[in-house]
Structures are given as structure tokens and as C-alpha cells.
Amino acid sequence: MATYLEFEKKIKTIQEDIISAQVRHDYDVAEAFKRKLDKEVEKIYKNLSDFQKLQLARHLDRPYALDYINMIMHDKYEIHGDRHFRDDAAIICYMGYIGDQKVVVIGEQKGRGTKNKLKRNFGMPHPEGYRKALRAAKLAEKFNLPLLMLVDTPGAYPGIGAEERNQSEAIARNLLEFAELKIPTVSIVIGEGGSGGALAIGVADRFAMMRYSIFSVISPEGCAAILWNDPKKVEAATEALKITSFDLKELGLIDDIVNEPLIGAHREKEAAATAIKEYFLDEVEKLKAMSTDERLEARYNKLVAPGAFKDADEEPENTSLLDTILKPKAKKDDVKEIVLENNEKKEEESSSKEKEEK
């Protein structure tokens, strides 16, 4: 049974009316309701708040990595284990075909239902999951196969066992190794992109987000708890964090926005899968047209670009962020010194006048 969010209730009512009209074989009425549905969808989804987009990114009916893999891949088989500790079910790796292109796909899988969620650890990978992803990526490089990564995680698992097996090292190793892969790589955030858990399979030639996905350094709930100690301020935190695909595209932190259906991937799964497939195949063709050195150079330039700055014409010397912050304070201090000097001069002049009078 489909799940509807608070702002989707009108859509639910219209869709029920369409089904009712079709059952009665009243197709003219059904068509009228469909036109009404299109208008309502456009009205609602073109005016979504950042918090509503967050809700869509976490929607229970939104396709997960395995759903997309089953829809866009054929003749596939799964790659298991990291060859060090165990097979982490939160990371799935497949080798197969997308269209006529043989590929390797790595995805983060959340799972549905209590049993499946526990098996997938709610989409939070352990270190062995990231090491399995690296093993699959190296396998793709060995056979010169393009790599597609599907990001969907609230974050890397923060448990004691994960820390004991060196979670931070596993993520850092992936950042280094994925940056040096000699094959075309594409990474797409399909739902949640949470912190280092997303970055670990997010370093690629092309980094894209689906229309209603999010990518953040911390969850809005975590942000609200740290800054305000108030869970009711999640909406304010979501707005402040700038975590939607449109915000990140505007900031230049992602390359593209994958054009998932306006009504959302949770309502039109096949269309969303087609959008991912077409985007991946198009970008792979563009990347194949580049030499390996050109790809690596472009990837390096993209990775070091965030945080870069240019000097203003009136300030030829290099200035750091700290200098910029301290400048106004320095000016105030200068003014204070001048005032003190003037006061001292006045005191000296007045004392000298008093001596002369005496």
C-alpha cells in the first residue's frame, strides 16, 4: 500500500478518484481527474520547501539501490565480501550490463521491513562494506569497466565494532583510491547522502544528485540537537544547511541534477530508473572520449576546487579566512590606539600648562 506524506494528501484523494472512475469504466471522468492530478502535482511539487524535499529523500516508497539495479541492469551477478572480515549487506556490488555497456555498480542499500533493515543495518555500512566497495572498484579498473555508484545512507555506522575495525581509515582509503581510478566513474545520490558514509563512494568523475535527494555533512536532526538542543527546529536546520540538489548545484559542489519525475521517484519508479540509466550512459560516453590523463586531471581539479579563492584587485597579497575575520578587529584596535595617544598628548599638554602657570 502506498505511503503518502502530509502535503501529498490531495494527490492521494485524486488518485483514488481516478481508480474509482476506472473501476466504473467511466473513462471520460478518469481523464478529467488525470488532468486535475497533473495540475495539482505541478502546483505542489514546484513549490516544495527544503524540509519537504528531505521527507521525499527519505520516503518509504522511494526506490533503493537494489531496486534501481534490478530495473536497469541485466545479466548481472553479485560480488560478495571484502576478503578481510565479512560481507557487509549495507553495501551491494554487481557486475553486469546497463544497455550494451558492461559495468560495475556499487550501491548503499537500506532495506524494507524490520528483518531486512536489520540485515542491511539501516543502510549504514561497516568498514568491511567500504573495503568491499574498494575491491569491486579495483575489479572494475582491472577489466577496464565503467563504475556507477548509488549513494543512499544516513551515514557510516558509528558503533564500537566499526571503530575497532577502523571505520575512518576505510573511508579515507576509499577517498584516496577512488580519486586515482583510471576508469570512467559516475556517482549519483539517489536518496540520502550522509557525511563520510556518502563520500566514501562519492569521489567520481561525475557526481550528481537526483531531484529530491539530499547531501549533507550532518543530518538536520543532529544539527538541530547541537545548535539549539531542540528537535522542533529540524526545519530551520534543513533550510540553513543547504542540502538539496538545487542548493548544491548552485554552490558548484555537484556536477548535475538527474531529472527524476516531478512527482518523485516514489510514484514513478520506472521513469526514475530510466533517468539514471540515460544519465550514466551519456556521461560514460563523454568520459570515454577523454584520455585517462585528461580524466584524472579534470577529476583532480574538481576535487580541489571547493574552498579555492581569488585575491581582490585592491588586495594583491594572499589573505586567509582568518585574516579576513580579524581585519575588522584590527581596525578597531588601531582606532583605540589613536584615541589613547591623543588622550596622552592632551594630558601632557594640560600638565605642562599647569606648571607654567605656577
pTM assigned to the model: 0.82
Average pLDDT over residues 298-305: 90
**Contact, 173 vs 212, CB < 8 A?**
no
Report pLDDT digits (tens) over 37-82: 999 999 999 999 999 999 999 999 999 999 999 999 999 999 999 9
Region of poorest pLDDT, from 102-116, 119-133, 179-193, 303-317: 303-317
| Per-residue pLDDT band at 340 (split at 50, 70, 90) | low
CA atoms within 13 A on the CB side of 165: 20
pLDDT exceeds cutoff 90 at 232: no
Between CA 121 and CA 111 the distance in angstroms is 8
Report pLDDT digits (tens) over 307-338: 766 666 655 555 555 555 455 544 445 545 55
What is 167-224 written as a DSSP string? HHHHHHHHHHHHHT--S-EEEEEEEEEEHHHHHTTT-SSEEEEETT-EEESS-HHHHH
- pLDDT attached to residue 331: 47
- pLDDT attached to residue 342: 65
- pLDDT attached to residue 98: 96
Backbone angle region of 75, left / alpha / beta, with phi > 0 → left and psi within -120 to 50 → alpha: left
Which cell goes with 182?
A: 583510471
Average pLDDT over residues 17-31: 90
- pLDDT attached to residue 332: 46
Q: Which residue would you say has higher pLDDT here, 248 or 316? A: 248
Tell me 115's DSSP state.
Answer: H
Report pLDDT digits (tens) over 263-289: 999 999 999 999 999 999 999 999 999
In the chain, domain spans: 9-30+37-47, 54-304
Q: Which fold has domain 54-304?
A: 2-enoyl-CoA Hydratase; Chain A, domain 1 (3.90.226)
Average pLDDT, the chain: 88
What is 214-236 written as a DSSP string? EEESS-HHHHHHHHTS-GGGHHH
